Amino acid sequence: MRSQQKNPLSEALKGGVAGAAGVCAMDRVGWYMYRREDARTLQRELAARPGGLDPAHNIANRLAGALGTELRPRQPNPWGIVAHFALGILPGVLYGVLRHRIRVLPEAQGFLYGAGLFVLNDEIVNAVFKLSGPPQAYPWQAHARGLVSHVVLGMVTDAVLRVMDRELHPSRPEQVTPAV
């Protein structure tokens, strides 16, 4: 029996929803850890941030600037939060489509996805585009918190996708043809 090919649009939509759920879980874990950091560690992290803002708020400010407007300079800003969620939803869309096409993704249950997002976004892309300071400017605790938070994002995204697969596309028992 051939395996049924998944509809990419459906998988993308599910991935976006799952990515949003992953961001919510990531935020809870990240803020829990953040609030337990000592003051000097937090000061070092905030000093490393361009403009004292996280990457999502820097993205929102750059987009506003490109549109000829300014956002209020402090966090949280609604547009910074939108950018933050987009940074989880858009990769979730891609993960939703790719997880049935790349064998190791579902086997890792979101761990590789989350860890990969951490390395790509937090350690490389944000620094290259100056949305964050260079990685070495941050204390190790910020990196550890980012890794843990992103792994949570990946695993929750994967878990939500698995639930949606089960609930939206329940496996149908084989039809048995009666013997004649």
Cα 171 to Cα 2, 21, 47, 95, 107: the distances in Å are 14, 24, 52, 22, 19
pLDDT (0 to 100) of residue 74: 73
Q: What is the mean pLDDT of residues 42-51?
A: 96
Helix and strand totals (H; E) in the chain: 8, 0
* Cα of 67 vs its chain's centroid, Å: 26
Q: Which residues contact 116 (CB under 8 A, 6 or more apart)?
A: 154
**pLDDT tens digit sequence for 116-133:** 999 999 999 999 999 999
Is the predicted pLDDT of residue 76 greater than 70, yes or no?
yes
Return mean pLDDT, the chain: 91
With a cut of 60, say whether residue 176 has pLDDT above it: no
Angle 150-46-65 from CA coordinates, rounded to 5°: 85
Q: State the pLDDT at residue 83.
A: 96
Q: Determine the pLDDT at residue 180.
A: 52
164, two tokens: 């949606």
| pLDDT (tens digit per residue) in 26-36 | 999 999 999 99
Residue 72, pLDDT above cutoff 90:
no
Whether 11 and 100 have beta carbons less than 8 Å apart is answered as yes
